[in-house]
Amino acid sequence: MIIGIGVDVCQIDRYAAAEDRRPGFSARWLTEAEVALPLSSRVARFAAKEALAKALLSEGGLRWHDAEVVRDEHGRPRFEITGTVAARAAELGVDKIHLTLSHDAGIAAAYVICERSEP
Residue 105: closest CA among 6, 7, 8, 10? 10
Return phi, psi of residue 50, to 5°. Answer: -65, -45
Q: What is the CA radius of gyration of the chain?
A: 14
Q: Domain locations in the chain?
A: 2-115
Quote the pLDDT of residue 6: 98
50 is in an annotated binding site: yes
pLDDT tens per residue, the chain (119 residues)?
999 999 999 999 999 999 999 989 999 999 999 999 999 999 999 999 999 999 999 888 999 999 999 999 999 999 999 999 999 999 999 999 999 999 999 999 999 999 999 76
Specify whether the backbone of 91 is left (phi greater than 0), alpha (psi in -120 to 50) or beta.
alpha
Is the domain spanning 2-115 CATH 3.30.1050.10? The answer is: no
Quote the pLDDT of residue 60: 87
For 112, the 3-state DSSP assignment is strand
Quote the pLDDT of residue 119: 67
